[in-house]
Structure 1
Amino acid sequence: MESRSPLKVVIIGAGIGGLMAACALRETGQDVDVYEQSQMANEKGAAIALQPNSTTLLRRYGFEPEKFGATTMENVSPKASPAQEMDADRVWFCSKMMMMDGASLDVMQEITDKVKEATLSEQRAQKCYFIHRVDLHSTLKKRATELGAVLHAGCEIKSVDEDANTITLADGTTVKADVIIGADGVHSRTRKVVFGESYQEHPSALSCFRFLIPTKSLREDPETRVFVEKPGSMMDLVGPDRRIILYPCSQGEYLNVLPIVPRQLAEAAGPKKENLLSAFSIFASPVQRMLEKTDEQSITMWPLFDMSALPIWAKNSVALLGDAAHPFTPFLAQGAASAMEDAVSLAVMLPLGTKTGQVPGRLQLYERCRKARVDRIQELSRVRGRDASGERGKPPTGNEIFSFAMYCKQHDEYVHSSKFLEAFDVPFIPAPPSPMSNP
């Protein structure tokens, strides 16, 4: 009987993409070690939106968003078709986001993702969720270790040698692997191994503040109640060259607030809260009142990074995933989703039984499978982020935004990668079902 020995996989970076890769590769039977520079003892972050293309993958590997604190985006209207009675097991699926003028709070557009009759199981598969990043990260970390992945915290990577297939830690320890995956984020050290200094991330014209506000304090104030009176709703408050994106998380306990401004405003000298209030002084009084409720200590400020599309993602037995390969602007909520898609695609391309000598070719297949989709989403996200100032080009119409969202959401990377692998006459060996998965 042919031996199906596991590959030794080293993952650099224990973010969402790295941990998802650890889970997916352990499910296939590969040996996985994850090296993370931080101590992973005090994870931070605000909320993220989980679109159907990411929740489909999470469920495939046994994760149910509702079980780790996700808030459902309200998107079901219980109304029957005019031509029929309402069936008990059917709903009308309708996902919306409100775009509102920041200065007046007048509704500019209600962008509807999709309207169709769907069974409850179909509707469930298309739900969007809002989740605290820490909750998702903790769930993935716990599951990765349960599956047998070994997490090494506090390990700074000094170098990666793609010829010898080794990584060297800051303490001088050298680790040899069959596969090295760079999931080390936008400032990736692994990327430099593949490209040197040729392709580097750069700050875009925009920066963002991030923080959470307890929904209770907003609900109790008549002036700010408008932002939380529709549980599960997402709002985009738009100004001429700035905006605020709002949505709930932690089962509705907090409102995630993402103000996006020209970079020079965010980086101005002075306290962050003072800069924040100044940047949105042109917005309506309820918006300013909401921002005043922010705790200065909870505000973080991040430049929004961008990068030209890389010509390749893999070299020999080293591959990149997530922000290391393709930083995204946040306007289509696809950063974490694409990192998870990368992770699952890698696991599909590297089933148990893959020979060490086959690894470079399989990593090239991974790149070919993923790159066109990711390059397109990068560009669509840039277009989605254009504002009324026109400085970065004409902003998209509601119909265009709808088409962008559908391209992102209506995708199952596990299925896509499996078919891609089979197209190259490579027998696909599915991973064993997860013990956490539903039958």
Structure 2
Amino acid sequence: MEPLKVVVVGAGIGGLMAACALVEAGQDVHVFEQSEMVNERGAAITVQPNSNVLLRRYGIEPEECGGTAMENIMMKDGISLNLLQEISDKVKAATVLEERSKKSYFVHRADLHGELKRKATGHGAVIHAGSKVESVDENASTVTLSDGTVVKADVIIGADGVHSRTRQLVFGEAYQEQPSPLSCFRFLVSSKTIQEDPETSSFIEKPGTMMDLIGPDRRIILYPCSQGEKLNVLPIVPRQVAEARGSRKEKLLSAFSTFAPSVQRLLEKAEEESIFIWPLFDMNPLPIWVKNSVALLGDAAHPFTPFLAQGAASAIEDAVSLAVMLPLGTKPAQVPARLQLYERCRKARVDRIQELSRVRGRDASGQRGKPPTGDEIFSFAMYCKQHDEYVHSTKFLEAFDVPLVPPTMGFS
């Protein structure tokens, strides 16, 4: 059987997961990434159970990427440090393998990105770094690179992030990301440095803990990564605070000057050059993700706020769903209909998680609406976590009575 030629625009986590899943399905995959892929930026991410189970299906184990298993979540008042709520993330399982599949892991983005790249290229995907896509023709099913090269494909996947050029070129200017009212700082600090200081050691005294320090209109999320050797720190503030004058560290310390002294002490440990500021973006649900042979994936289709830690997870789900819909034996003429199935399979779930994430991010200021209760937060998390997109997409495809090549169980 002839494989489909698949072009993936963008080599982030979603694009590389698409490459892994599609090359495993037997397709001919080429990934075009405008950067040179020398250094993957970003700090840590949470690999939730719904993405964990999919990564493992394709032979990628979070603990092999330096992942730290989540054991519990603590929510504290950022000013008094009074405990507001504590939620255990322990899971019940019959075997160690089942337990690992059901857990959440804190993973450095660069480590996961590197493993996805290794898996994809090791099984036949070709990554073209330094290759910027200038135009996409959904009718001719081609992409044109900045050097004038025209690449013909049977499938084009726009996995080029929140500022997606594929989305802009194919779906038009009307469907663009919008700045949210929030920005976040990100930095990593040595866990040893935190532990050796009596003023800050309480922030890592319980291994595997995610801590959410909550203020009236700002918060700080902390969790370990890199086998517990580093602490990922994610302060989230009103956008105007991050855009104020001053150095990044000055703005960071000023933003949390009313928080507990130990919190300020923690922030003081950040090195200026290690602090990044990321404006958060949002977007109303797109009416469509697919046009002819072009499909969007991940942030290109549905940027998320970070409050349910589902951005990378949903991109991974998208990638696996696409691979299920495009097994070896799919004819080029079938591609538009299969991509429509992908959209129908995924869109309702993603639209709901987008909205739940917005609600989860509401704070005591009430500026973005009434904050959710503890029970509501738990129900949001369960909706996200208790899902296997490989199984869901397989059943969805079968329901349309489309011949399906027997699924494989990952790389051999």
TM score, norm. by length of structure 1:
0.92
- 1:117 Cα shift? 7.2
Aligned counterpart for 2:381 among listed residues 398, 401, 405: 405
- 1:185 Cα shift? 0.3
Structure 2 residue aligned with 1:347: 323
Q: 2: distance between equivalents of 1:31 and 1:424?
A: 25
Contact 2:56 2:101 in 1 (8 A): no
Provide Cα deviations, 1:176-207, integer angstroms capped at 9, x if missing partner: 00000000000001101332101110110000
Q: 1: distance between equivalents of 2:33 and 2:318?
A: 19
Amino acid at match of 2:316: M
Answer with 118-127 or 138-147: which moved more. Answer: 118-127
Structure 2 residue aligned with 1:92: none
Structure 2 residue aligned with 1:23: 20
Structure 2 residue aligned with 1:40: 37
Amino acid at match of 2:354: Q
Contact 2:24 2:411 in 1 (8 A): no
Provide Cα deviations, 1:36-93, integer angstroms capped at 9, x if missing partner: 000001222100001000000011011111112111112xxxxxxxxxxxxxxxxxxx
Aligned residues with identical type, % of pairs: 75
Structure 2 residue matching 1:9: 3-state secondary structure:
strand
Structure 2 residue matching 1:234: 3-state secondary structure:
strand
Aligned counterpart for 2:239 among listed residues 256, 260, 263: 263
- 1:120 Cα shift? 4.2
Contact 1:247 1:256 in 2 (8 A): yes
Q: 2: distance between equivalents of 1:291 and 1:433?
A: 44
- 1:246 Cα shift? 0.3
Aligned counterpart for 1:142 among listed residues 111, 118, 129: 118
Contact 1:27 1:431 in 2 (8 A): no
1:57 aligns with 2:57: no
The size of the alignment, in residue pairs, is 412
1:358 aligns with 2:334: yes
Following superposition, which runs of at least 4 residues in structure 1 exceed 3 angstroms of deviation? 111-122, 430-436
Contact 1:348 1:418 in 2 (8 A): yes
1:201 aligns with 2:177: yes
Structure 2 residue aligned with 1:82: none
Q: 2: distance between equivalents of 1:167 and 1:116?
A: 48
Taking a change above 3 Å as real, the CA distance of residues 357 and 435 of structure 1, as seen in their structure-2 partners, is closer
1:14 aligns with 2:1: no
Structure 1 residue matching 2:379: 3-state secondary structure:
helix
Structure 1 residue aligned with 2:214: 238
Q: 1: distance between equivalents of 2:315 and 2:129?
A: 21
Provide Cα deviations, 1:357-397, integer angstroms capped at 9, x if missing partner: 10000000000000000000000000000000000000000
Provide Cα deviations, 1:218-250, integer angstroms capped at 9, x if missing partner: 100000001111111110000000000000000
Instruction: Name stretches of at least 5 consecutive residues in structure 2 with no aligned partner.
Output: none
Structure 1 residue aligned with 2:287: 311
- 1:434 Cα shift? 3.2
Structure 2 residue matching 1:131: 3-state secondary structure:
strand
Where does 1:10-409 land on structure 2 (aligned, <5 Å)? Answer: 10-74=7-71, 96-112=72-88, 120-409=96-385
Q: 1: distance between equivalents of 2:155 and 2:74?
A: 44
Taking a change above 3 Å as real, the CA distance of residues 174 and 117 of structure 1, as seen in their structure-2 partners, is closer
Contact 2:45 2:109 in 1 (8 A): yes
Taking a change above 3 Å as real, the CA distance of residues 410 and 48 of structure 1, as seen in their structure-2 partners, is same
Q: 1: distance between equivalents of 2:15 and 2:24?
A: 14
Instruction: Name stretches of at least 5 consecutive residues in structure 1 with no aligned partner.
Output: 75-95
- 1:435 Cα shift? 3.8
Contact 1:194 1:314 in 2 (8 A): no
TM score, norm. by length of structure 2:
0.98
Q: 1: distance between equivalents of 2:112 and 2:337?
A: 32
Amino acid at match of 1:389: S
Structure 1 residue matching 2:209: 3-state secondary structure:
coil
- 1:304 Cα shift? 0.5
Q: 2: distance between equivalents of 1:179 and 1:318?
A: 6
- 1:430 Cα shift? 3.4
- 1:427 Cα shift? 2.1
Contact 1:113 1:402 in 2 (8 A): no
Where does 1:396-435 land on structure 2 (aligned, <5 Å)? Answer: 396-435=372-411
Instruction: Give the number of the structure whose alpha-carbon radius of gyration is greater.
Output: 1
